[in-house]
Amino acid sequence: MVVPVRATIYRGEEDVRIEDVDDPRIEESSDAVVRITHGAICGSDLWFYRGYEDWEPGWRLGHEFIGVVEDVGDGVNTVKKGDRVIAPFAFSDGTCEFCRSGLPTSCHHGDFWGRTNDGGQAEAARVPLADGTLIRLPEEIASSPELLVASLPLTDVMSTGHHAAVSADVKPGSTVAVIGDGAVGLCAVYAACRLGAERVIAVGHHESRLDVARGFGATDVVDSRSANALEQLVDMTGGGVPYVLEAVGSQASMDLAIDAVRPGGSIGYVGAPMAVDGIHPGRLFAKNASLAGGVAPARVYIPELLADVAAGALDPSPVLDLRTDLDGVPAAYAAMHERRAIKAYFVAE
Amino acid sequence: MVVPVRATIYRGEEDVRIEDVDDPRIEESSDAVVRITHGAICGSDLWFYRGYEDWEPGWRLGHEFIGVVEDVGDGVNTVKKGDRVIAPFAFSDGTCEFCRSGLPTSCHHGDFWGRTNDGGQAEAARVPLADGTLIRLPEEIASSPELLVASLPLTDVMSTGHHAAVSADVKPGSTVAVIGDGAVGLCAVYAACRLGAERVIAVGHHESRLDVARGFGATDVVDSRSANALEQLVDMTGGGVPYVLEAVGSQASMDLAIDAVRPGGSIGYVGAPMAVDGIHPGRLFAKNASLAGGVAPARVYIPELLADVAAGALDPSPVLDLRTDLDGVPAAYAAMHERRAIKAYFVAE
- Above 60 in pLDDT, residue B223? yes
Chain B residues whose C-beta sits inside 8 Å of any chain A C-beta: 97-98, 101-103, 105-106, 167, 239, 254, 263-264, 269, 272-274, 276-282, 284-295, 297
- Above 70 in pLDDT, residue B287? yes
Residue B243 main-chain phi, psi, to 5 deg: -130, 120
Q: How confident is the model at residue B279 (pLDDT cuts 50, 70, 90)?
A: confident
Residue A133: left if φ>0, alpha if ψ -120 to 50, beta else—which one?
alpha
Calculate how close chain B gets to A44, using CA atoms only, in Å: 14
Q: Find the range with the poorest average confidence among A155-159, A268-272, A332-336.
A: A268-272
d(CA B330, CA A245): 47
Give the residue on A whose Cα is nearest the Cα of B278: A280
- Above 70 in pLDDT, residue A265? yes
Q: Do A105 and B269 touch (CB under 8 A)?
A: no
What share of chain A has pLDDT > 90, as a percent? 94
- Above 90 in pLDDT, residue B274? no
Calculate how close chain A gets to B88, using CA atoms only, in Å: 16
- Above 70 in pLDDT, residue A21? yes
Chain A CB contacts of B294 below 8 Å: 284-289
Chain B CB contacts of A98 below 8 Å: 263-264
Per-residue pLDDT of A108-154, as tens digits, reads 999 999 999 999 999 999 999 999 999 999 999 999 999 999 999 99
Per-residue pLDDT of B294-327, as tens digits, reads 999 999 999 999 999 999 999 999 999 999 999 9
Calculate how close chain B gets to A270, using CA atoms only, in Å: 8
Say which residue, B1 or A107, is predicted with more confidence.
A107
Q: Give me the pLDDT at residue B53, please.
A: 87
**Do A205 and A179 touch, CB atoms closer than 8 A?**
no
Per-residue pLDDT of A81-94, as tens digits, reads 999 999 999 999 99
Q: What does the DSSP assignment read for A50-112?
A: TTSS---TT-B----EEEEEEEE-TT--S--TT-EEEE-SEE--S-SHHHHTT-GGG-SS-EE
Per-residue pLDDT of B146-176, as tens digits, reads 999 999 999 999 999 999 999 999 999 999 9
What's the pTM?
Answer: 0.95
Chain A CB contacts of B98 below 8 Å: 263-264
d(CA B240, CA B234): 4
**Do B141 and B148 touch, CB atoms closer than 8 A?**
yes
Q: Do A274 and B282 touch (CB under 8 A)?
A: yes
Please give the mean pLDDT across all residues of chain B.
Answer: 96
The answer on B213 and B162 residing in a single domain is yes
**CB-nearest partner of B272 from A106, A276, A285:** A285
Please state the ipTM of this predicted complex: 0.93
Q: Do B98 and A167 touch (CB under 8 A)?
A: no
Per-residue pLDDT of A36-77, as tens digits, reads 999 999 999 999 999 988 899 999 999 999 999 999 999 999
Q: Which of B293, B315, B337 delimits the end of a domain?
A: B293
The answer on B242 and B316 residing in a single domain is no
Q: How confident is the model at residue B36 (pLDDT cuts 50, 70, 90)?
A: very high
Chain A CB contacts of B101 below 8 Å: 264
The answer on A219 and A142 residing in a single domain is no
The answer on B199 and B167 residing in a single domain is yes
Q: Do B288 and A269 touch (CB under 8 A)?
A: no
Task: Produce one character per residue of A287-300: b if its CB has 16 or more CB atoms within 10 Å, e if not.
Answer: bbbbbbbbbbbbbb
Cα B109 to chain centroid distance, Å, stands at: 21
The answer on A281 and A306 residing in a single domain is no
**Do A225 and A233 touch, CB atoms closer than 8 A?**
no
The answer on A286 and A137 residing in a single domain is no
Say which residue, A283 or A293, is predicted with more confidence.
A293
Q: Do A291 and B290 touch (CB under 8 A)?
A: yes
Q: Do B284 and A294 touch (CB under 8 A)?
A: yes
Q: What is the mean pLDDT of residues A312-318?
A: 98
Calculate how close chain B gets to A234, using CA atoms only, in Å: 15
Q: Do A101 and B284 touch (CB under 8 A)?
A: no
Parallel, antiparallel or unpaired: strands B5-12 and B15-21: antiparallel
Q: Do A288 and B294 touch (CB under 8 A)?
A: yes
**CB-nearest partner of B279 from A103, A167, A281:** A281
Q: Give me the pLDDT at residue B1, please.
A: 42
User: What is the rounded end-to-end Cα distance, in angstroms, of chain B?
Assistant: 25
Q: Give me the pLDDT at residue B2, please.
A: 54
The answer on B132 and B9 residing in a single domain is yes
The answer on A307 and A173 residing in a single domain is no
Residue B25: left if φ>0, alpha if ψ -120 to 50, beta else—which one?
beta
Q: Give me the pLDDT at residue A1, please.
A: 42
d(CA B87, CA B129): 11
Calculate how close chain B gets to A108, using CA atoms only, in Å: 10
Number of domains in chain A: 2
Q: Do A288 and B293 touch (CB under 8 A)?
A: yes
For A85, A95, A161, A202, A245, the CA distances from A180, given in Å and listed in that order, are 30, 35, 11, 7, 9
- Above 50 in pLDDT, residue B228? yes
Chain A CB contacts of B167 below 8 Å: 290
Chain A CB contacts of B105 below 8 Å: 288
User: What is the rounded end-to-end Cα distance, in angstroms, of chain A?
Assistant: 25
What CATH number does the domain containing B43 carry?
Answer: 3.90.180.10
Chain A CB contacts of B102 below 8 Å: 264
The answer on A277 and A166 residing in a single domain is yes
Give the residue on A whose Cα is nearest the Cα of B255: A281
Q: Give me the pLDDT at residue A273, please.
A: 82
Task: Produce one character per residue of B114-126: b if its CB has 16 or more CB atoms within 10 Å, e if not.
Answer: bbebbbbbbbbbb
Q: How many CB pairs under 8 A join A and B?
A: 111
d(CA B272, CA B247): 8
What CATH number does the domain containing B192 carry?
Answer: 3.40.50.720
Q: Do B291 and A288 touch (CB under 8 A)?
A: no
Chain B CB contacts of A103 below 8 Å: 263-264, 288
- Above 70 in pLDDT, residue B76? yes
Q: How confident is the model at residue A292 (pLDDT cuts 50, 70, 90)?
A: very high
The answer on A302 and A198 residing in a single domain is no
Per-residue pLDDT of A223-240, as tens digits, reads 999 999 999 999 999 999
Chain A CB contacts of B284 below 8 Å: 291, 294
Q: Do B106 and A263 touch (CB under 8 A)?
A: yes
Q: Give me the pLDDT at residue A299, please.
A: 98
Q: Give me the pLDDT at residue A282, please.
A: 87
The answer on A142 and A124 residing in a single domain is yes
Calculate how close chain B gets to A238, using CA atoms only, in Å: 11
Q: Do B286 and A295 touch (CB under 8 A)?
A: yes
Q: Do B294 and A289 touch (CB under 8 A)?
A: yes
Q: Give me the pLDDT at residue A279, please.
A: 86
- Residue B75 domain boundaries: 5-156+297-347
Give the residue among B217, B159, B166 at the shortest CA–CA distance from B183. Answer: B159
The answer on B225 and B103 residing in a single domain is no
